[in-house]
């Protein structure tokens, strides 16, 4: 992560920490507040881990593109088949 991204992440975590502190004041030791505190702690740990390790750069091979022709298919290729989703209509196509 770049320095500016890490700074923004840490600022956001600080704002979240203040918000969770306010909720703790309002709701006390409610289970939801404890879960939020736990989630906040996990975010702090993950942010420190990211800051301490270099980013992994994944290089992907380009995807092979297959050109599909715009010309219509030969209509005889579809003779005698059912239309899926239409209850298996059986009729001759013309």
Give the pLDDT of residue 42.
Answer: 96
- pLDDT of 91 strictly over 90: no
Residue 51: band (very low, low, confident or very high) from pLDDT cuts 50, 70, 90: confident
Task: List the chain domain ranges.
Answer: 1-26
Q: Number of helices (H) and strands (E), helices first, in the chain?
A: 2, 0
Mean of pLDDT values over 21-38: 96
Residue 7: band (very low, low, confident or very high) from pLDDT cuts 50, 70, 90: very high
Distance from C-alpha of 13 to C-alpha of 26, rounded to nearest angstrom:
20
pTM, two decimal places: 0.55
Mean of pLDDT values over 35-54: 92
């Amino acid at each position: 992560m770049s320095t500016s991204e890490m700074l923004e992440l840490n600022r956001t975590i600080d704002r979240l920490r203040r918000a969770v502190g306010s909720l703790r004041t309002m709701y006390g030791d409610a289970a939801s507040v404890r879960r939020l505190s736990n989630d906040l702690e996990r975010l702090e740990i993950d942010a420190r881990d990211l800051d301490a390790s270099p980013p992994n750069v994944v290089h992907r091979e380009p995807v092979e593109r297959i050109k599909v022709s715009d010309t219509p298919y030969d209509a005889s290729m579809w003779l005698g088949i059912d239309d899926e989703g239409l209850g298996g209509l059986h009729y001759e196509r013309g």
